[in-house]
Amino acid sequence: MAVNPVRKFGPVPLENFSNGVKALLVLSDGTVFEGKNFGAEGKTIGEVVFNTSMTGYQEILTDPSYKGQIVAMTYPQIGNYGVNAEDIESLGGPKVEGFIVKEYLDFPSNWRAMRGSLSDYLKEYQIVGIEGVDTRALTRHLRDTGSQMGIISAKDLNPQSLLEKVRKHPGIVGIDLVKEVTTKEAYPWNEGCWKWHPDSQLPTPNSQLKRVIVYDFGVKLSILRNLVDAGFDVYVVPAKTPAEEVLDMNPDGILLSNGPGDPEPVTYAIKNTKKLIGKKPIFGICLGHQILGLAMGGRTYKLKFGHHGGNHPVMDLKTNEVEITSQNHNFCVEVASLKGQVELTHKNLYDGTEEGMRHVELPILSVQYHPEAGPGPNDATYLFKRFRELIEKTHG
C-alpha cells in the first residue's frame, strides 16, 4: 500500500516528559502523531474520539460505553490525582481500547490515590497509552474530518505498516459491542452513591421501594447507585434476557442502560424492547434511548465526531432550564422518524441534536446523555426521580 501519511506531528516538548519508549498514533487517513508510551506496551486499534472533560479520567476509562474506542483527553495534564478503588464505572478494569494524553503525570498527589499511578493501572489491565501527543491538533483534526479508526503502537514504529493494519480493521459501525461488556449473570444491587460522611443518607422518596429491572447493555455503576438513592430495589440482568423472563419478575419499571457502539446490530435488545413497550414503565439512557427509538420504529444516525465530555448544555424543554451534562455517544435518535409517538423533551444547545423524548401515551421516557454523571454536578439527577414519579403515577 503506497500511501504516504497526510501529515506527521512530532511529540510535544514537555519538561517533565516521561522516559517511556517512542510510540506512534496513526489514523486511518494517514495522519501520524508521535509520542511516548505509557501504560501497557504493544499496540491497539479503535475508533479515536476526543473527550473534553477536565477530570474523571478513571470513570472514562472504566465506562463500558467506550468499548471499541481510543479516547483522547483534551485537558492537557492527566494522571495527577492517580487512581482509586471507588471511582470506577464497571467491574473488571478499563473498557477503552487505548488512551491518548498530552502530558502524563507519573507522580499522583491525592489522599484517595490508593492504587498507585495511572500508568500502573493501565499496565495491570493491558491498556496501551501514548503521551506527548499534540491533543489540540488531534482534536481539531477529528472535528474537521470526523471520528476515525486509529492505532497506537509502541513496538511497530513503521507508519506505513501501521496504516495498513488500521485500514484492514472492520471498524465499529455494524458491530455488536454490547455482548462484550454485558454481565454474564443477573445480580441484585443495593449500594447508593458515595457520601463524604458514610452515615449520611439521602431521604428515600417513599418508604416503599420500587423494583426496577436494569438491562445491562454496558451499565455504569453510577446509574445503579442513583437508582438506589431514588428509592429503587435494583436487579440487573444480562442484555439478552428474554422480555418474557423480565415480565415474569413483575417489576415496577424497566431501565435500558447505556452501552457501546452502534445500536442497530443489537437486534435482540430491540426485539425484547418491542415486547416490553406498553407492559411496564421504561426509562432509557444513552444506548437504551437509541434502542427504544429503534424498537418504536424510528431511525438512528451517526454524528460526525460524537458527543464525549462533561460540558454539554442541554435544555429541558418542559422547564426551559439548562443543565450541564456528561455525554458519551456517537449515535442519535431521529425523533421525527417516530411520527408523533413521542415528544421531544431535551435539546443539545451546542448543535441542536435531540437529547430526550417521552411517549405521548405510554409511561416511557429516555435521554441521550448521562444523568448519573456529575459535571453540574447534580443538574440531571432529577431524571431518576422523574422515572420514579412516572412509575407511581402508573401503578399508584
Catalytically annotated residues: 286, 370, 372
Q: List CB contacts of 87: < 8 A, sequence separation 6 or more.
A: 56, 58, 59, 112
End-to-end CA distance of the chain: 66
Residue 130 sits at φ, ψ, to 5 deg, of -135, 130
For 2, other C-beta atoms within 10 Å of its C-beta total 4
Alpha-carbon gap, residue 242 to 249, rounded angstroms: 11
* Cβ-count burial 149-161 (b if 16+ within 10 Å, e if not): bbbbbbeeeebee
Query: Exposed, middle or buried by CB within 10 Å (0-12, 13-18, 19+), for 336?
Result: exposed
Grid-cell match 431524571, residue found: 383
Alpha-carbon gap, residue 43 to 156, rounded angstroms: 8
Q: Looking at this protein, which amino acid is placed at residue 365? A: L
Contact 219, 258 (CB under 8 A): yes
* Cβ-count burial 217-254 (b if 16+ within 10 Å, e if not): bbbbbbbbbbbbbbbbbbbbbbbebebeebeeeebbbb
Contact 173, 210 (CB under 8 A): no
Residue 356 sits at φ, ψ, to 5 deg, of -170, 155
Alpha-carbon gap, residue 94 to 115, rounded angstroms: 14
